[in-house]
Structure 1
Amino acid sequence: MDRRDEQMRSVKRWPLLAVVAVVFLCGAAWRAEAADDRHQLLATVHVHSTASTGDLTIEALAERAEQLGLDVLMLTDNFSLRYEYGLWPLPGLLKRQVRFPSVLEYGIERYLADVADAQSRHPNLIILPGVEVAPYYYWTGSIWGRTLTMHNAQRNLLVLGLDKPEDYRSLPVSGNPDAYSFDWRVAVNGAPILLMVPAVWLWRPLRRSTDRRSPRRMIACMLIVLAVALVVNAWPLSQPAFSSYDDRMGYRPYQALIDDVSAKGGLAFWSMTEARDYHEYTAGPMGTVVVKTEPHPEALVQTTGYAGFGGLYQDTRTSVRPGELWDRLLQLPEHESRTTPVLIGELGFHGSNDAGKELHRLVTALLVKERTVAGVLEALRSGHSYAVGEGDHHVQLRLEEFQVVCLDGTKSASIGDRLDPGGARDLMVRLSITAADHGHHPAKVRVIRSGQVVAQSAGETPFRFDWTDTTAPMNERMAYRVEITGSGELLSNPIFVAPILELKAEG
């Protein structure tokens, strides 16, 4: 009887053990595949339409994007291209203004309405409105000395995620009259109107027989002319966001824009920080006016709160090289009061006449939770993305898998995620690379850990590379990213790995 009871208890244990095993396996599978609940969308970032300096309408861009198989079109039309220069001592009165097509000229409401109309006609394409903004420019030199130079007209940020007209209307940007402010300087600017008081008093004759051409009235007329000139010079009496004659502003205007966009729930990305812009324009007998913007990668350090930066574009780039500026920023302690900058690819598309540019040639691949505007913005903000551009042979790579795993694959993290290995030492990087045309093309892989190239491999697509990191440091936060060349260029955002903890020996 006792033996039979023991057998019955043993039989009853088996279902319980089976349930425990299933739960364990499901948990392991969930941990290993938690990052796989995202799907990939191809987005073109930094596109101009006829609302600013582009050649194609928003509708034409949407049609072309769908034809090329894109999922997301991120418009970044120029917000303001209004410039002016005034001569001292009356720069507001003796000035020359220049305006180019921009969202402010086109109309903010009209711009957003055009985007909404195009979106309704292309439901399979996500169209994200945005603007390219240079919040501040300044002058140095003199037109009389033939040394006049305008600086930083192309020191731009891309602003995305704002969908209300009032959010754009109040952007603190040079040339945006709605961003003008009222302060104590309004009283100073309006003070010349007080000259009208003595002018009126002087105009009134002391005696009825006073000649209308008396010195009193001549002085009164001069005061009236002076008052009007000074008020017109200071008009509008409110103050612009930033003075274009103050060369000591540094990065304050840019930080003000970033803070404003962040407060409204939007995203600000530094655009092409290592590109140089230089032009010379003839000003007749006054000589040549220089318009230039120097490379400014230090912007990534001098400002905080921005979402990321353009790290892949068709120009010189050194900040994304192993161990350079981006890697140094990725290694800053997490308690630092700055967000981790996300890398995006930006095309700078103005039209089909742009040499070597087509909407699909340089894209940002977004790993989204849902195919919506909110899903796109979440992937952008969190760094669940990589940037990829075509090479000379029009081959574009795809990163099908990039994971860091440990504990025999039961713990894993993908692009934009964080892995906590605890005391596990078996860190492995898993990569799977294909080509968009599913063909065989060369691929050279470099695995970069915290700024150092720790592994390299080469092969042909489809290409798989699994590498075990046996040299991972203890008690140190790590960032893994990959750089793939050979057929175009692919740069991933990092996978962060928490410090590996040293396990204390028992006993």
Structure 2
Amino acid sequence: MAKRHVMAAGRAGFALLWLFSAPLVRAESPTPARIPLRAAVHVHSTVSTGTLSPESLAQRAERQGLDVLILSENFTLRYDYGLRPLEGILKYGVSFPSVLDYGIERFLTELREVRRRHPKLIIMPGVEVAPHYYWTGSLLAGDLTMHNAQRNVLVIGLEKSEDYARMPARGNPHSFVWDGKSLANAAPFLLLAVPAIRLWLPRRREKEAWRHSHQTIRRMAAAAGLVLTAGLAANAWPLTSPRFSSYDAQAGYRPYQAVIDAAIERGALAFWSMTEARDFSRHSFGPLTVTVKTDPHPDSLLLTQGYTGFGGLYQDTRRVTAPGGVWDQVVQARLNEGGPVPTMIGEVAFHGLQDAGKDLDRVYTVVLVTERTQAGVLEALRTGHAYAAARGDGDILLQLDEFSVSDRRRSAGMGDRLESEGGRPVTVRVAVSAADRDAHPVRLRVIRAGQVVGQIEGRTPLRYELTDGDAPADRWLPYRVEAIAQSGELLTNPVYVLKVKSKK
């Protein structure tokens, strides 16, 4: 049975006990000191669907005390629907502001200029990619539906335009391929252009009088054919096809895995974004109705591989991070496989001040960096040296003052690993306070491998110490912390512990 020892911070006796017990916990090897930086992740500007320019965002971030601003501009928002079997030719498309429409190089150049004017703020490029959508139903039946237009992956840290150019996404023609559909898209040239050209050219064998009398009619018909050819060809352009058809409901997560692989290969980070957020709307075009919907997709964390992490804290309903939920299942599976473990971030999903309850400082990702650079931020996000905190309606912002796991010989912090020999108990230490330094009700829970092994309710600032002697041996166990106030929330990434039995 776990033994719990709880005392409120601020009591002198506890502080002295904590001070004198500290030397008993020694790191096995020196680890670099980490600096906490406040980051706003998933921010849109006027480059895509935001209402504030990158310059205005930088100014606002500095006023709110942010250290890092991570943009997540919509990569492409181009959608089309075509009449089958000539959907590549007879189609209607719409487009909304995105990086592809704005210009990739223009976006990166503007970002460099903003960085130059704000050297103390780390501003990082990123895009929000929805690589695939598909259609079901029909216009005539009134049930035409576009699925998954808001199933997104955040790609963070690409600095070169060529790294974006062939990002495999449905709206990016540079990522399209030649296939059988490409021949169908070229049909206007074969079926209309060639006959039109033959009509335009004079025929030698025709009698002079016949040729002159019908030349005008032939050329008018030829001109009409050429204009129609040009219009259909323009509508079908490019003649290449997306890797995954918008009429294929069975593509599953293959388009998303392609984006993840492309991002990781180029040295970027790839995070699943807001996997439980819903999107639903209906749009009328005269008597015709189109439904647009994206259902929650937490299974994406189980059915894709190699991604850096996911958004675990944002202003919407979430169950993925519940004890024993999908997050804990994925982490344990990756630990058992010996592969990289997905990390968790907070997403502010900021588009502008016109959205009630939205601002850059509503949801933080606090990154613990070894150096105050973009490379340092990327390393911290990749390795899980970060936690997320969100303000509620009461504007309470919780902050993590300590989170460590030790066996009295060695100690590990968030994102690190601890191998404990001899099967001895491990001690979890947590300290949480409020940014305003005031006392607020808060509940702390320590979660080990999906199970709540300790919890306490108190007021900030609050310290909690848990001695866990029941942890199973010979397998990696993730320990993480959840703190919930009346109007605020905090989630940490895990500390990974392996208890090794004594050798006889």
TM-score, reference length from structure 1 = 0.87
Corresponding residue for residue 300 of structure 2: 299
Q: Which residues in structure 2 correspond to 1:98-497 (within 5 Å)?
A: 98-183=94-179, 186-187=182-183, 189-190=185-186, 193-195=189-191, 204=203, 207-208=206-207, 211=210, 231=233, 234-286=236-288, 288-332=289-333, 334=335, 336=337, 339-406=340-407, 408=408, 410-487=409-486, 488-497=488-497
Query: Whole-Å Cα distance in 2 between the matches of residues 442 and 35 of structure 1?
Result: 34
- The structure that has the greater radius of gyration is 1
Query: Whole-Å Cα distance in 2 between the matches of residues 368 and 174 of structure 1?
Result: 35
Cα deviation, residue 395, structure 1? 1.2
Q: CA, structure 1 residues 342+198, in 2 after alignment: closer, same or farther (shift >3 Å)?
A: same
Contact kept in structure 2, 1:259 and 1:305, CA below 8 Å: yes
Q: Which amino acid aligns with 1:445?
A: L
Moved more, 375-384 or 486-495: 486-495
Q: CA, structure 1 residues 466+351, in 2 after alignment: closer, same or farther (shift >3 Å)?
A: same
Cα deviation, residue 356, structure 1? 1.0
Structure 1: which 5+ runs fail to align? 1-25
Query: Whole-Å Cα distance in 1 between the matches of residues 297 and 145 of structure 2?
Result: 18
Cα deviation, residue 184, structure 1? 5.9
Query: Whole-Å Cα distance in 2 between the matches of residues 34 and 460 of structure 1?
Result: 34
Query: Whole-Å Cα distance in 1 between the matches of residues 338 and 240 of structure 2?
Result: 34
Which deviations, in whole Å up to 9, do the C-alpha atoms of 1:150-170 show, x marking residues without a partner?
111100111101011111121
Q: CA, structure 1 residues 228+49, in 2 after alignment: closer, same or farther (shift >3 Å)?
A: closer
Q: Which amino acid aligns with 1:417?
A: D
Q: CA, structure 1 residues 185+450, in 2 after alignment: closer, same or farther (shift >3 Å)?
A: same
Query: Whole-Å Cα distance in 1 between the matches of residues 198 and 396 of structure 2?
Result: 81
Contact kept in structure 2, 1:148 and 1:290, CA below 8 Å: yes
Contact kept in structure 2, 1:35 and 1:413, CA below 8 Å: no
Which deviations, in whole Å up to 9, do the C-alpha atoms of 1:265-289 show, x marking residues without a partner?
0011111110110001111022x11
Contact kept in structure 2, 1:173 and 1:242, CA below 8 Å: no
Contact kept in structure 1, 2:278 and 2:296, CA below 8 Å: yes
Query: Whole-Å Cα distance in 2 between the matches of residues 233 and 59 of structure 1?
Result: 37
Moved more, 227-236 or 477-486: 227-236
Cα deviation, residue 326, structure 1? 0.6
Q: Which amino acid aligns with 2:415?
A: G
Cα deviation, residue 104, structure 1? 1.3
Corresponding residue for residue 7 of structure 2: none
Q: Which amino acid aligns with 2:248?
A: D
Which deviations, in whole Å up to 9, do the C-alpha atoms of 1:374-406 show, x marking residues without a partner?
000000000111111112321111111100000
SS at match of 1:398: strand
Which deviations, in whole Å up to 9, do the C-alpha atoms of 1:404-423 show, x marking residues without a partner?
000x2x30110000000022
Moved more, 123-132 or 179-188: 179-188
Contact kept in structure 1, 2:25 and 2:406, CA below 8 Å: no
Query: Whole-Å Cα distance in 2 between the matches of residues 357 and 229 of structure 1?
Result: 44
Cα deviation, residue 433, structure 1? 1.1
What is the identity percentage for the equivalent residue pairs of Structure 1 and Structure 2?
Answer: 53
Which deviations, in whole Å up to 9, do the C-alpha atoms of 1:281-328 show, x marking residues without a partner?
111022x11111111111111111111111101111111100011111
Cα deviation, residue 335, structure 1? 5.8
Which deviations, in whole Å up to 9, do the C-alpha atoms of 1:445-494 show, x marking residues without a partner?
11000000000112222211111002111223211001111241111101
Cα deviation, residue 127, structure 1? 0.6
Contact kept in structure 1, 2:273 and 2:311, CA below 8 Å: yes
Q: CA, structure 1 residues 497+156, in 2 after alignment: closer, same or farther (shift >3 Å)?
A: same
Q: Which amino acid aligns with 2:273?
A: S
Query: Whole-Å Cα distance in 1 between the matches of residues 339 and 144 of structure 2?
Result: 37
Contact kept in structure 2, 1:149 and 1:290, CA below 8 Å: yes
Which deviations, in whole Å up to 9, do the C-alpha atoms of 1:69-96 show, x marking residues without a partner?
1111111111111111223354344332
SS at match of 1:91: coil
Contact kept in structure 1, 2:32 and 2:370, CA below 8 Å: no
Q: CA, structure 1 residues 123+234, in 2 after alignment: closer, same or farther (shift >3 Å)?
A: closer
Query: Whole-Å Cα distance in 1 between the matches of residues 28 and 57 of structure 2?
Result: 39
Cα deviation, residue 187, structure 1? 4.9
Query: Whole-Å Cα distance in 1 between the matches of residues 339 and 251 of structure 2?
Result: 21
Cα deviation, residue 337, structure 1? 7.6
Moved more, 456-465 or 306-315: 456-465
Q: CA, structure 1 residues 338+476, in 2 after alignment: closer, same or farther (shift >3 Å)?
A: closer
Query: Whole-Å Cα distance in 2 between the matches of residues 119 and 390 of structure 1?
Result: 27
SS at match of 1:258: helix
Aligned partner of 1:51 among 34, 47, 60 = 47
SS at match of 1:49: coil
Query: Whole-Å Cα distance in 2 between the matches of residues 437 and 315 of structure 1?
Result: 24
Say whether residues 1:88 and 2:84 are aligned partners.
yes
Corresponding residue for residue 7 of structure 1: none
Cα deviation, residue 134, structure 1? 0.6
Corresponding residue for residue 15 of structure 1: none
Contact kept in structure 1, 2:334 and 2:340, CA below 8 Å: no
Query: Whole-Å Cα distance in 2 between the matches of residues 466 and 350 of structure 1?
Result: 40
Pairs aligned (count): 474
TM-score, reference length from structure 2 = 0.87
Q: Which amino acid aligns with 2:285?
A: A
